[in-house]
Structure 1
Amino acid sequence: MIDIAAASALAETQIVSQPLALKPKEFATISALAREEFGLELGKGKEQLVAARVGKLMRKLGFTIFRDYYQHVQGDRTGEALVELIDALTTNHTSFFRERAHFDFLVHRVFAEQQAPGPIRIWSAASSTGEEPYTIALTAREHLGVQSPVLPRILATDISTRVLETARKGIYKANRFENGLSPWLRKHLLRGEGRWEGWYRMRPEILGMVEFRRVNLIEPLPDIGRFTLIFCRNVMIYFSRETREQLVNRLAACLEPGGYLFVGHSESLTGMQHGLQQIQPAIYQKRGGKK
């Protein structure tokens, strides 16, 4: 005897689990929204990727029709639906000490040359879940000393409130640290016990060095002052050339003369108009300071 209720539930599950098939007009709609709100370019060839990620998000939220989901995003005055969409469409891949050459430069050039009487200001402009700004803080405390008057104040920003909430907690699995935990690094972390075995938390003094704020980089920037160094790595790969150039000039305006901009090693400012000069791969300096 056939269990009609069970068969019906199975059929519904199969329908819901099927990949979303975005029509060309629907893909164009999502692409236009991503471009206008986030500067994200979704070109040809990404239709299946977008359909898979949007479809997964729709299923999570209980939508089966694209039109209904899009109306939900448009009608959400909190902006959280847009944030969920950008989270779904982009990859928040990061790790501690990612692109280690940048942190070597931070120690041997930026920290070594620092002559200011007060704290260095550093901006992590696409901080994701916090690994980058905390790496800066950990490196600074180790190489400058815990009592140094120039210990940096770090502004960490991201467009996603979800990743910012994770970052503020400062809690990470041990495998988030590349090449394991060296003895010098362990002293700056609190090791979890019991159900938190295998996890580490930043010590309060590390947490206190970082301020997290939500900032959309393609919008006019808030009044955040000037910085000795700005990290803006592996985010411009999602933007059009025009958007990248606009962003680089906004970032340059936030640098002190002689300040440094770090970009991802897969990113280049070649062909853009800006007031920066390249001094090493993926490292640029604002004119007016030391070379």
Structure 2
Amino acid sequence: MNFASRHVPGALKLSQEMAWPYRREDWEFAAMVGQGLALERAGEVIGTAMWWNYGEAYASAGMIIVTASAQGGGYGSRLFDGLLHATDGRSVLLNSTEEGLALYKRRGFTAWRTVLQHQGRLTVAMPPNGRDGIRPATAFDLSAIQACDERAAGMPRSSMVAALADVGNVVVIDHAGGVAGYAIARRFGRGYVIGPVAAENAEGARDLILAQLARLHGQFVRIDIYAERGLGDWLEDLGLARVGDATAMVKGQRPVSDGAARIYALANQSFG
């Protein structure tokens, strides 16, 4: 059945069983900006699968969970096949744990990059970023931020970016009156997550991240990055340890960036 608000408490229980750090608010936000399926048994939620449409050509999938007592009964395949049916015609992106790789490969997904999860309590105070061009975003910047994200991600994510900006703090790289990069920090899980981060080069991405970290001294911070962007060692030096990784997979066409900007950090591993 379609995921509804009444499924949130059961979905939260599922993610707690998996030791995933989602709060009730994180489930509510994910359901508000996306769509999903829920499986129930005797009135109890035993499985979920969520997706988020990005234009007519792409979707991201995540929060795919089956309770331990129901695993091995085909519920995971049933949920995932329902997700693929609902997103039919779109290329689907997801980030897989080691345990999920076999299922996704059987459904035609291929690996194309690696996501690194960095996190920790920020114990070193970061000075306010002094680089020229880094500034807080205003409401008037939203359309330019959405356009920057679309060029960097290679797919239109305007609704998702607007929703993230509405609940988070946004900083931008202002270049000649235009937005050349942006970063959002928001409450998520055990503390805060920084992402998405889009920039034209690694220096710009680091400056945007530092601008966000300057506000988060003493807070628990998580950043999920693409491994090939080269920020991992730098985050380690800041005290944000690498604690895990995931395999980015796609069924269909990979999105292709348009221009110099690239995505350096994800909103989270479900949204992309």
TM-score bracket relative to the smaller structure? under 0.3
Higher helix share: 1
Computing the radius of gyration over CA atoms, which structure comes out larger, 1 or 2?
1
Higher RCO (Cα < 8 Å, 6 or more apart): 2
Higher strand share: 2
